């Protein structure tokens, strides 16, 4: 296996700067500060939260309601957008919420393992620029109403509104609005029936 180029002083310094940036959430004082911020909001994280959660909380770009609960591996991230998570909502293992502009999750929602909710779409149209450097576009904010249940590995894409008490089946991809009280599934997700008593 070929070896890489030698690590000179400038390259080592740059690597260390990147390491410190990407591991900032793991520093003991930042972990403690994050849990203090969560306690102020009466919220709780059972394990590490990933992304720039502490920064967003301090800047007022992340709103968390009382009794919201985060399982290990939850990732909340945004460079300049806003994320709001209602009280009593549960984000299970490895849920990711990413906001370009705005993602809102209502109260008492349940997001099962591996869900992805984002209002962003990665650009890829500039053939002269590497894809990771092209940034994001958005079709609009994502809004998830109160008491919504997203099954395991559901993906919610930009510009989507999911009405209150809707249920989205596991492994679905939500690309258009889902009405309140609907049960939807598939890729793309389609309404199958309603949970509203008739």
Exactly one of 23, 50, 67, 122 is catalytic; which is it?
Answer: 122
| Helix, strand, coil percent values for the chain (each to nearest 5) | 20, 30, 50
**What one-character-per-residue DSSP string does 82-116 give?**
EEEE-TT-EE-TT-EEE-SSEEEE-TT-EE-TT-E
Say yes or no to pLDDT of 2 above 80.
Answer: no
Catalytic (active site) residue 122: yes
The reply to whether 19 falls in a domain is yes
The reply to whether 2 falls in a domain is no
Render pLDDT for 159-172 as a digit per residue (tens, 0 to 9): 999 999 999 999 99
Residue 198 pLDDT:
64
The reply to whether 4 falls in a domain is no
The reply to whether 145 falls in a domain is yes
The reply to whether 76 falls in a domain is yes
Structural domain span for residue 159:
9-194
| Rounded Cα distance, 164 and 148, in Å | 6
| Rounded Cα distance, 21 and 43, in Å | 26
Share of the chain above pLDDT 70, in %: 98
Could you tell me if 118 and 78 are in contact, meaning their C-beta atoms sit under 8 angstroms apart? no
Could you tell me if 81 and 101 are in contact, meaning their C-beta atoms sit under 8 angstroms apart? yes
> How much is the pTM?
0.89
Domains of the chain: total: 1
Residue 197 pLDDT:
67
Q: Which two tokens stand for residue 69?
A: 């609960």
CATH number at residue 92: 2.160.10.10
Say yes or no to pLDDT of 147 above 80.
Answer: yes
The reply to whether 178 falls in a domain is yes
The reply to whether 98 falls in a domain is yes
| Rounded Cα distance, 44 and 159, in Å | 29
The reply to whether 124 falls in a domain is yes
């Amino acid at each position: 296996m070929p070896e890489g180029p030698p690590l000179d002083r400038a390259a080592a310094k740059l690597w260390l700067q990147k390491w410190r940036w990407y591991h900032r959430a793991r520093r003991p004082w930042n972990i403690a500060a994050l849990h203090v911020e969560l306690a102020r909001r009466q919220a709780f994280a059972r394990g590490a939260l990933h992304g720039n959660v502490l920064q967003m909380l301090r800047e007022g770009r992340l709103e968390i309601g009382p009794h919201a609960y985060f399982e290990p591996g939850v990732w909340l991230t945004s460079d300049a957008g806003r994320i709001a998570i209602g009280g009593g909502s549960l984000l299970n293992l490895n849920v990711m919420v990413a906001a370009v502009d705005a993602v809102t999750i209502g109260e008492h929602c349940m997001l099962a393992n591996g869900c992805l909710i984002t209002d962003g779409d990665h650009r890829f149209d500039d053939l002269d620029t590497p894809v990771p450097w092209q940034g994001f576009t958005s079709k609009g904010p994502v809004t998830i109403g109160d008491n919504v249940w997203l099954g395991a590995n559901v993906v919610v894409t930009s510009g989507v509104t999911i009405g209150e008490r809707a249920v989205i089946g596991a492994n679905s991809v939500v690309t258009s609005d889902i009405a309140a009280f609907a049960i939807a599934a598939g890729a793309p997700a389609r309404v199958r029936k309603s949970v509203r008593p008739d």
